[in-house]
């Protein structure tokens, strides 16, 4: 019987089968940030097990609150920093070299096709865009991963979502994944891995694929997976050039992580994007999705462009195309947060930072802060944010605040208008 | 193994997410005990007052997809430091469910119509529920009404609960 991508990864990584439906698998990397890791570190210290299974396979970043905003967050950074030094974890990224984990770690080449990777963060599902198995986990799974390099999972069920058609102008990967979540619901993929297939995905660059996989957890999915191909090889090339004679050879090798033609899927959905309009969310669940057209005119107080969903170069470019030569509405606060230090530098070189500042946007350092109401963009009671992030939960960006999720282009257009609106109105 | 039983807090809504269980702004606390005052602070549910309704409760009964959203293990911790070690619901988000077992805590999934009936029959009065892990049975009672409901627990989940959590289990084995 043929295998799905996840089944292939499980079979090549299995170290134990403690029960019929449970697979304990070997991890290629364990990723850490300063919010969920310090408790794992302190637990291990308390138990007399302050060890790491392999320092070269542990990667750590301070990204959620950076720079530290108070004594608590300074302490979280200190615990992680000292632990990384103590255990000679050289892939540790502090302020000035850091970035939002799900943009930074792929950028560093730490996620490869066929890898099994965990992180104490639900949006680790982003990294499946590289043809890897990358579930988010809690702190205890993380502690065991750090100590033993393994993690336990139930037998993977996979659903396949085939994206067909042509993306219309002004419609992006963000609109696609929101429309998928709107269709299958917030538990439509629970306990399942989602393989994204079809011509629309094949044409997407890695940034768009990461946006797609990033929000699979909003449908309850364990992780998203895209099939590693020439586009994947091209993105990873500077990190893998020593391993392959050329990019074509790398892409050919990646095919071993494609599903077998007779792989068995728990469910298959064909999702045609041809008639898709730009979409946004209403309410407080990510499956509350409707066309921007129907939300036109909804007043906003803040616009946030950034996060692990939409803080990469392509996202900044598409927002800047809308903003160029225009000004943010006087009643709106615009915040743009390039997701990594490298992206910040590239945006500076391309002149995008200038476009944002000329438009009246505040450009912040790379951080997760605004997305989860931790720092640099917390909402007040009753305020509304048009956001390129991933969760519109009650109080997500600040107590009593409301969030509408959308693409960077829609967010930029809304910043100019002062209310939710379609980016096509601001075509150059 | 921990003790799974006590007075029941009914939360009559599906898709209760971990931001509602413990808002992100409290994730800057490293010590689990510090989360105690903030459990369910952001829950959107008519008539629910965390300060009034949580004290004295040891069991939560809720609807589908409980614990969706963020991977924060702070959600199970915030429940546990308030004395809640058992959550009974129609279904759970994967990471929350795993985090509960990893902490040696218990989640029990019951069919949709059973959950609906528990709300109808028990949610109005003071209700007491206990999970007997060895027998796979929930005992629930209020006033004059009482019953036993059987539930399924996989061998692996049972081993985690008996071991007190995944760290203890994995360290002894790998």
- Closest residue in chain A to residue B104, using alpha carbons only: A140
Instruction: Please enumerate residues of B whose Cβ is less than 8 A from a Cβ of A.
Output: 15, 17, 19-20, 23-25, 27-30, 32, 42-44, 64-65, 68-73, 76, 91, 93-95, 98-99, 102-103, 154-156, 159, 165-167, 170-171, 173-174
- Same domain flag for A287 and A240: no
Chain B residues near residue A76 by CB distance under 8 angstroms: 28, 30
- Same domain flag for A122 and A218: yes
Domain that holds residue A31: 5-270
Q: What is the mean pLDDT of residues B149-170?
A: 94
- Same domain flag for A242 and A359: no
> Of A252, A270, A288, which residue constitutes the final position of a domain?
A270
- Answer yes or no: is A169 within a domain: yes
Per-residue confidence (pLDDT) for residue A290, from 0 to 100: 98
- Answer yes or no: is A227 within a domain: yes
- Answer yes or no: is A314 within a domain: yes
Per-residue confidence (pLDDT) for residue A428, from 0 to 100: 54
A188 touching chain B per CB within 8 A: no
Nearest CB to A147; choose among B25, B91, B171: B171
Q: Which segments of chain B are extended strands (E)?
A: 5-11, 59-62, 86-89, 106-109, 128-132, 137-142, 145-150
- Same domain flag for A82 and A199: yes
Chain A residues near residue B102 by CB distance under 8 angstroms: 138, 140-141
Among A393, A396, A397, the residue to mutate for chain B (most B Cβ within 10 A):
A393
Average model confidence (pLDDT) across chain A: 97
Give B34's DSSP letter: G
- Same domain flag for A349 and A257: no
Contact (CB<8Å) B93/A220: yes
Question: What CATH number has the domain bearing residue A147?
Answer: 3.30.499.10
Chain A residues near residue B171 by CB distance under 8 angstroms: 47, 49, 144, 147-148
Nearest CB to A374; choose among B17, B24, B29: B24
Nearest CB to B156; choose among A22, A47, A395: A22
- Same domain flag for A130 and A202: yes
Per-residue confidence (pLDDT) for residue A424, from 0 to 100: 86
Q: ∠ at Cα A383 (A366, A180), nearest 5°?
A: 65
Domains of chain B: 5-173 (3.20.19.10)
Could you read off the pLDDT of B102-159 as tens digits, one per residue?
A: 999 999 999 999 999 999 999 999 999 999 999 999 999 999 899 999 999 999 999 9
Q: Are B86 and B9 in contact (CB under 8 A)?
A: no
- Same domain flag for A257 and A291: no
Q: What is the mean pLDDT of residues A258-285?
A: 97
- Answer yes or no: is A218 within a domain: yes
> Of A270, A290, A310, which residue constitutes the final position of a domain?
A270
- Answer yes or no: is A97 within a domain: yes
Contact (CB<8Å) B155/A138: no
- Answer yes or no: is A232 within a domain: yes
**ipTM for the complex?**
0.97
Chain A residues near residue B163 by CB distance under 8 angstroms: none
- Same domain flag for A93 and A223: yes
Contact (CB<8Å) B170/A220: no
Is A155's pLDDT higher than 90? Answer: no
Per-residue confidence (pLDDT) for residue A425, from 0 to 100: 82
Give B107's DSSP letter: E
- For A87, the token pair is 């255990």
- Closest residue in chain B to residue A25, using alpha carbons only: B174
Is A1's pLDDT higher than 90? Answer: no
Per-residue confidence (pLDDT) for residue A427, from 0 to 100: 73
- Same domain flag for A250 and A363: no
- Answer yes or no: is A275 within a domain: no
Residues 356-415 of A with CB under 8 A from B: 372-374, 391, 393-396, 399
- Same domain flag for A248 and A367: no
- Same domain flag for A231 and A368: no
- Answer yes or no: is A165 within a domain: yes
> Of A218, A236, A270, which residue constitutes the final position of a domain?
A270
Per-residue confidence (pLDDT) for residue B68, from 0 to 100: 98
Q: What is the mean pLDDT of residues A147-151?
A: 98
- Same domain flag for A284 and A266: no
Chain B residues near residue A124 by CB distance under 8 angstroms: 71
Could you read off the pLDDT of A185-228 as tens digits, one per residue?
A: 999 999 999 999 999 999 999 999 999 999 999 999 999 999 99
Domain count, chain A: 2
A50 touching chain B per CB within 8 A: no
């Amino acid at each position: 019987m043929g295998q799905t991508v996840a089944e292939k990864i499980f079979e090549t990584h299995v170290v134990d089968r403690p029960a019929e439906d449970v697979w304990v698998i070997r991890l290629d990397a364990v990723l850490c940030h300063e919010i969920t890791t310090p408790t794992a570190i302190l637990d291990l210290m308390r138990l007399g097990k302050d060890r790491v299974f392999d320092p070269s396979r542990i990667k750590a970043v301070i990204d959620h609150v950076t720079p530290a905003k108070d004594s608590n967050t300074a302490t979280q950074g200190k615990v992680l920093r000292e632990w990384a030094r103590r255990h000679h974890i050289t892939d540790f990224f502090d302020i000035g070299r850091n970035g939002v984990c799900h943009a930074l770690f792929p950028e560093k080449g730490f996620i490869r096709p066929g890898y099994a990777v965990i992180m104490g963060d639900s949006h680790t599902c982003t990294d499946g865009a590289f043809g890897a198995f990358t579930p988010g986990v809690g702190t205890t799974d993380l502690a065991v991963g750090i100590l033993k390099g393994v993690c336990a999972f139930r037998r993977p069920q996979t659903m396949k979502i085939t994206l067909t058609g042509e993306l219309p102008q002004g419609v992006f990967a963000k609109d696609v994944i929101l429309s998928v979540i709107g269709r299958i619901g917030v538990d439509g993929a629970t306990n399942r891995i989602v393989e994204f297939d079809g011509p629309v995905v094949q044409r997407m660059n890695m940034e768009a694929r990461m946006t797609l996989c990033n929000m699979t957890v909003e449908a309850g999915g364990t992780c998203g997976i895209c099939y590693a191909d020439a586009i994947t090889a091209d993105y990873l090339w500077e990190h893998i050039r020593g391993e392959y004679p050329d990019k074509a050879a790398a892409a050919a090798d990646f095919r071993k992580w494609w599903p077998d033609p007779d792989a068995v899927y728990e469910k298959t959905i064909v999702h045609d994007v041809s008639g898709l309009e730009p979409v946004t969310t209403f309410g407080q669940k990510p499956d509350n999705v409707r066309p921007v057209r129907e939300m036109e005119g909804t007043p906003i107080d803040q616009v946030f462009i950034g996060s692990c969903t939409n803080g990469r170069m392509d996202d900044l470019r598409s927002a800047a195309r809308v903003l160029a030569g225009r000004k943010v509405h006087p009643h709106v606060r615009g915040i743009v947060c390039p997701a990594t230090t490298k992206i910040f530098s590239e945006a500076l070189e391309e002149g995008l930072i200038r476009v944002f500042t000329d438009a009246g946007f505040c450009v912040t350092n790379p951080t997760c802060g605004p997305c989860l109401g931790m720092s640099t963009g917390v909402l007040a009671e009753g305020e509304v944010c048009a956001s390129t992030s991933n969760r519109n939960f009650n109080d997500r960006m600040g107590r009593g605040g409301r969030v509408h999720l959308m693409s960077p282009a829609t967010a930029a257009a809304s910043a100019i208008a002062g209310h939710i609106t379609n980016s096509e109105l601001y075509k150059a | 193994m921990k003790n799974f039983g006590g007075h029941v807090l009914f939360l009559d809504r599906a898709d209760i997410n971990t931001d509602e269980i413990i808002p992100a702004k409290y994730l800057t606390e490293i010590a689990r005990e510090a989360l105690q005052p903030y459990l369910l602070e952001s829950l959107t549910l008519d008539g629910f007052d965390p300060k009034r309704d949580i004290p004295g409760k040891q069991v939560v009964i809720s609807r589908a997809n409980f614990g969706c959203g963020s991977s924060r293990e702070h959600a199970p911790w915030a429940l546990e430091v308030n004395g809640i070690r058992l959550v009974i619901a129609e279904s759970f988000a994967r990471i929350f469910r795993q985090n509960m077992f990893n902490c040696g805590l218990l989640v029990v999934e019951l069919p949709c119509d059973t959950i609906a009936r528990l709300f109808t029959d028990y949610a109005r009065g003071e209700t007491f529920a206990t999970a007997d892990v060895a027998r796979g049975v929930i005992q629930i009672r209020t006033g004059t009404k009482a019953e036993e409901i059987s539930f399924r627990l996989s061998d692996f989940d049972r081993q985690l609960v008996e071991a007190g959590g995944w760290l203890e289990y994995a360290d002894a084995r790998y």
